[in-house]
Structure 1
Amino acid sequence: MSEFHYPTLKSGYTLPDCTTPLQVDVIRHLQPGRNGIEITCNAPFWRQSLAVELKIFADVVTTNTDIRRDTVIDGGQLRISRMETSSLHNGYFSDIDTVSGMLSKRTLRQGTPVTPDMVDLPDLVQRGQLLKVRLVRPGIQLEIQGEALSRGHLGEQIRVRNTQSGSTLFAKVIGEGLVQVQ
Structure 2
Amino acid sequence: MKFLTFFNIAFRVLFGAGLVLGLVQTGAAQTDSSRWVTEAQLSELVDPALLPPGASVDVKFVKADERIGSLQCPAALFANTAGNKMWGRTYVRVQCVGSDTAPFFVGVDVKVWAPVLVVKGTIQSGQTLGLNDVEFRTMDLSQLSHGWVSDLAHLNNKTAARQLWPGTLLKHDYLRGQALVKNGDTVKVMMKGPGFAIGGTAVAMGEAELGEVVKIKTTQGKILHGVARDALLVEVSL
The answer as to 2:237 corresponding to 1:179 is no
TM-superposed CA distance for 1:56, in Å, is 0.9
Query: 1:55: which partner in 2?
Result: 111
Q: TM-score, normalised by structure 2?
A: 0.57
Q: In the TM superposition, what is the alpha-carbon distance from 1:71 to its structure 2 partner?
A: 3.5
SS in 2 for 1:127: coil
Q: Alpha carbons of 1:171 and 1:17: their partners in 2 closer, same or farther (altered >3 Å)?
A: closer
Distance 2:221 2:62 in 1: 67
Where in structure 1 are there 5+ consecutive unaligned residues?
none
Counterpart mapping for 1:1-182 below 5 A: 1-8=56-63, 17-18=70-71, 21-26=74-79, 28=81, 29=84, 31-37=86-92, 38=94, 40=96, 42=98, 50-135=106-191, 142=199, 144-163=200-219, 165-182=220-237
Tell me, in whole angstroms, the C-alpha distance in 1 between the residues paired with 2:85 and 2:225.
46
Task: Give 1:123 deviation, angstroms.
Answer: 2.6
SS in 2 for 1:86: helix
Comparing both structures, which one devotes a greater share of its residues to strand?
1
- Is contact 2:69–2:75 with CA below 8 Å preserved after alignment? no
CA distance in 2: counterparts of 1:5 and 1:66, whole angstroms: 38
Counterpart of 2:90, as a letter, is N
Q: Is the 8 A contact 1:67 1:108 kept in 2?
A: yes
Q: Give the CA deviation at 1:96.
A: 1.0
The answer to whether the Cα contact below 8 Å between 2:116 and 2:137 also exists between their aligned partners in 1 is: yes
How many residue pairs get aligned? The number is 177
> Is the CA contact 1:131–1:178 (under 8 Å) kept in the aligned structure 2?
yes
Separation in 2 of the partners of 1:177 and 1:140? Answer: 18
2: CA distance between counterparts of 1:148 and 1:159?
A: 6
> Where does the alignment leave 5 or more consecutive residues of structure 2 unmatched?
1-55
Deviates most, 26-35 or 106-115: 26-35
Tell whether the 8 Å contact from 2:205 to 2:217 is kept in structure 1 after alignment.
yes
Q: Distance in 2 between matches of 1:46 and 1:136?
A: 62
- Counterparts of 1:67 and 1:16, CA distance in 2: 54
Identity value in percent: 19
TM-score in terms of structure 1 length: 0.71
Q: CA deviation digits over 1:14-71, x for unaligned, max 9? A: x765597411435744622123354747569799965322111123233233323344
AA of the residue aligned to 1:73: L
Q: Is the 8 A contact 2:74 2:99 kept in 1?
A: no
Query: What is the RMSD computed on CA atoms of the aligned residues?
Result: 3.6
